[in-house]
Amino acid sequence: MKMLRIFIFLVLFSFAIGNENLNSHVFPRPLIIEYPENNEPQLKEYDELKLLKCTSWRFAVEANNLSPWKTIPEECADYVRQYIVGPGYKMDIDRVSNEAGEYAKSVNLGEDGKDVWVFDIDETLLSHLPYYSDHGYGLEVFDSVEFDKWVEKGTAPALGSSLKLYQEVLSLGFKVFLLTGRSERHRNITVENLMNAGFRDWHKLILRGSDDHGKTATTFKSERRNE
């Protein structure tokens, strides 16, 4: 880099001297050309700004202020991947599960056997991280056909803290209902997947019937919870 500076200086200096009579104001004296040693501060500022933007986007999604959305921002792909596979996502799941467990312990159960705890399945009891890792962690538009193929493999792992909460709720005396937007045709593989992942002894498993297709998840699940 030092030799390059010297070379450029000599070339420009020679040019200036050779043309001094034509225009003596082209190059000031002395002529010094400097290049920044590195651009680490600029890169750091850019990375920090991108981190803030992606954190803001995630917060807006989790607060349901950005619904509906189809894909994550392209520049946030690495941010989302690191959050999901790193310790952050597990910490969030653990915190929610622990809070739910404390609430469960505070409930005075009746003697009529009608105290029910309702769990969702997908991304609540079972994790689909293996599926999303193959589909850009949300960079791709959700494809229900491809997702059904993943469901039909029956290999989704349990979310550890959710399994712990599930077992705790059962031990407290709640009946457990499982409510999912999966189709009734996936009942057998869903049961198999749940049991292989460690979930057992639920009281009822509710899936979408033929009359439920076309309903939003919110409508379908709200109707079933009311029942």
Tens-place pLDDT, residues 109-129: 998 888 999 999 999 999 999
Predicted local confidence at residue 113, as pLDDT: 84
Question: In sequence order, what E strands does 8-164 have?
Answer: 116-120
Predicted local confidence at residue 43, as pLDDT: 63
Predicted local confidence at residue 214, as pLDDT: 85
Predicted local confidence at residue 36, as pLDDT: 52
| Cα distance between residue 68 and residue 142, in whole Å | 12
> How high does pLDDT run on average in the chain?
84
Number of domains in the chain: 2
Q: Are 31 and 16 a contacting pair, CB within 8 Å?
A: yes
Cα dihedral across residues 197, 81, 58, 98: positive or negative? positive
pLDDT class of 20 with cuts at 50, 70, 90:
very low
Please state, in angstroms and as integers, the Cα–Cα distance from residue 94 to each residue in 49, 68, 74, 187, following that order. Answer: 28, 26, 28, 28
Predicted local confidence at residue 47, as pLDDT: 87
- ∠ Cα 88 99 66 (to 5°): 55
Does the residue 200 lie in any domain? yes
DSSP character at residue 153 = T
**Residues 119 and 27 grouped into a single domain:** no
Predicted local confidence at residue 16, as pLDDT: 42
Structural domain boundaries enclosing 164: 113-227
Q: What are 28-71's pLDDT values in tens digits?
A: 555 454 545 555 666 677 688 999 999 999 999 989 898 788 99
Does the residue 11 lie in any domain? yes
| Cα distance between residue 128 and residue 151, in whole Å | 9
How many alpha carbons lie under 13 Å from residue 69 in its C-beta half-sphere? 16
Predicted local confidence at residue 38, as pLDDT: 55
| Cα distance between residue 85 and residue 210, in whole Å | 36
Residue 27 has pLDDT above 70, yes or no: no
Whole-number percent of the chain with pLDDT over 70: 81
CATH number, position 188 = 3.40.50.1000
Does the residue 201 lie in any domain? yes
**Residues 123 and 209 grouped into a single domain:** yes
Does the residue 219 lie in any domain? yes
Predicted local confidence at residue 42, as pLDDT: 62
Predicted local confidence at residue 46, as pLDDT: 66
Closest by CA position to 74, among listed 62, 59, 60, 57: 57
Does the residue 203 lie in any domain? yes
Residue 131 has pLDDT above 90, yes or no: yes
Predicted local confidence at residue 40, as pLDDT: 60
Predicted local confidence at residue 210, as pLDDT: 87
Predicted local confidence at residue 41, as pLDDT: 62
